Amino acid sequence: MPPARPDPGEALVEAAGEAFEDARFEDALAHAEEALRASPRSVGALQYRAAALAELGRLDEARAAYDAALAVGKDDLDLLFGAADFHVNVLQEEDTDRELVERGLVLARRGAKLARKAGDPALAGEFAWLEGAGLNQLGESRAALARLTEAEDALPDSVEVRVEQGFALYELCRFDEALAVLLRAEALDPEEPWTQHHLGLVAERRGDAAEARRRFARAHRLDPKAFPEPIALTPAEFERAVEDALAEIPEQVRRYLANVAITVEDLPTSDDLLASDPPLSPAILGLFRGAPYGQKVSMDPWSHLPSAIVLFQKNLERFARSREELIQEIGVTLVHEVGHFLGLDEDELWARGLD
């Protein structure tokens, strides 16, 4: 019997993998596409093509490429992890909508189940970390902590898991616990910028302004692109930015604002955050205080007080990279809080595109 012919696609997939590991993403893409011409259903080639497109910032193409790869290799654990990570961590950086994060959660859950079935607890822990990260993004930090506990059990020395746990605890206003977890993350890797940023957020909530500035500055030094220096306006400058934002809001929305006081505070108070269960995120950009439009109840002793929208200056400034972005975000926040004034809950706001 003559020897089997070597599969040209296999060598090309290996070449794509080597190029990808060397951060030569254009070469990785070229090798993967050549491999697909030889073997159109090669899961490895499909995966490297999707991953290379993602690294090159061609995110719409990467999404389509991951969908094509999953149609062929829906049970491939490496592919599932790459696709879940793309939806949870890469698209998240582009401020994408929650449906894509939910897609990442579906993939992560499937991967975790298959990894447990395959007897690979470490990989199951990696998938659990992705689940926790996705749940945090969706504002479901209690559920995130449960998944991150599984991840921690499997990956006790993972900085990523500790950072995500610390963020979940911060979101739940459990600041002392968040500090302890984040300090453990720092001990594992003092150069991780997300650890420094989250430690800054916790210090800010604990009232240690000097420590917060030090941590934020360190995060900026470690990763200036991810953590640019926030713009810092005087109260008068911020008030002018609010006025500019109001001028850009559609008239039909601005009409409702005539019935609402707009105030500015540095950060939400503990009472603001702990008034609901689960607590509100300390990073909220604005808050509606008062009774919804047309629903003031005379028996309520507070119903005579005017409704107000509070803008949180430090959180808004941290969110924006320029005055123009700040004005835009103030406008988005005001429209969102007008939705609450009209009696809409978070799900209704999301359904109407006001989240």
Q: What are residue 311's DSSP bridge partners?
A: 264, 286
Q: What is the pLDDT of residue 335?
A: 84
Q: What is the pLDDT of residue 347?
A: 53
Q: How far is CA 193 from CA 122, 128, 216, in A?
A: 24, 22, 9
Q: Is residue 299 part of a domain?
A: yes
Q: How many CB atoms lie within 10 A of CB 181?
A: 25
Both tokens assigned to 224: 């200036």
Q: State which residues form the domain around 262.
A: 235-351
Q: Is 330 helix (H, G, I), strand (E, B) or coil?
A: helix
Q: Is 265 helix (H, G, I), strand (E, B) or coil?
A: strand
Gap between the Cα atoms of 198 and 195, Å rounded: 5
Total domains in the fold of the chain: 1
Q: Is residue 211 part of a domain?
A: no
Q: Is residue 206 part of a domain?
A: no
Q: Is residue 190 part of a domain?
A: no
Q: Is residue 275 part of a domain?
A: yes
Q: How many CB atoms lie within 10 A of CB 318?
A: 21
Q: What is the pLDDT of residue 306?
A: 59
Q: How far is CA 110 from CA 107, 130, 154, 268, in A?
A: 5, 12, 17, 38
Q: Give the closest residue to 166 by CA, choosing from 150, 191, 139, 186.
A: 186
Q: What's phi and psi for 34, nearest 5 deg?
A: -65, -40
Q: Is residue 201 part of a domain?
A: no
What's the alpha-carbon Rg for the chain, to the nearest Å?
24
**What DSSP element (H or E) covers 288?**
strand 286-289
Q: Is residue 212 part of a domain?
A: no
Q: What is the pLDDT of residue 298?
A: 45
Contacts of 165 by beta carbon, 8 Å cutoff, 6+ apart: 132, 145, 148, 152, 181
Q: Is residue 249 part of a domain?
A: yes
Q: What is the pLDDT of residue 1?
A: 42
- Max Cα–Cα distance, the chain, nearest Å: 93
Contacts of 26 by beta carbon, 8 Å cutoff, 6+ apart: 52, 56
Q: What is the pLDDT of residue 297?
A: 47
pTM: 0.87
Gap between the Cα atoms of 329 and 311, Å rounded: 11
Q: pLDDT per position in the chain (355 positions), as tens?
A: 444 445 567 899 999 999 999 999 999 999 999 999 999 999 999 999 999 999 999 999 999 999 999 999 999 999 999 999 999 999 876 555 789 999 999 999 999 999 999 999 999 999 999 999 999 999 999 999 999 999 999 999 999 999 999 999 999 999 999 999 999 999 999 999 999 999 999 999 999 999 999 999 999 999 999 999 888 999 999 999 999 999 998 887 788 787 788 999 999 999 999 999 999 999 999 998 876 655 554 444 444 445 889 999 999 999 898 999 999 999 989 988 877 666 555 454 444 444 4
CA torsion sign for 247, 249, 250, 256 is negative
Q: Which CATH number characterizes residue 328's domain?
A: 3.30.2010.20
Q: What are residue 286's DSSP bridge partners?
A: 311
Q: Compute the half-sphere exposure of residue 289: CA atoms within 13 Å on the CB side of its CA.
A: 20
Both tokens assigned to 195: 């650890």
Q: How many CB atoms lie within 10 A of CB 331?
A: 20
Q: What's phi and psi for 192, nearest 5 deg?
A: -80, 115
Gap between the Cα atoms of 314 and 317, Å rounded: 5
Q: Give the closest residue to 180 by CA, choosing from 196, 193, 161, 162.
A: 162
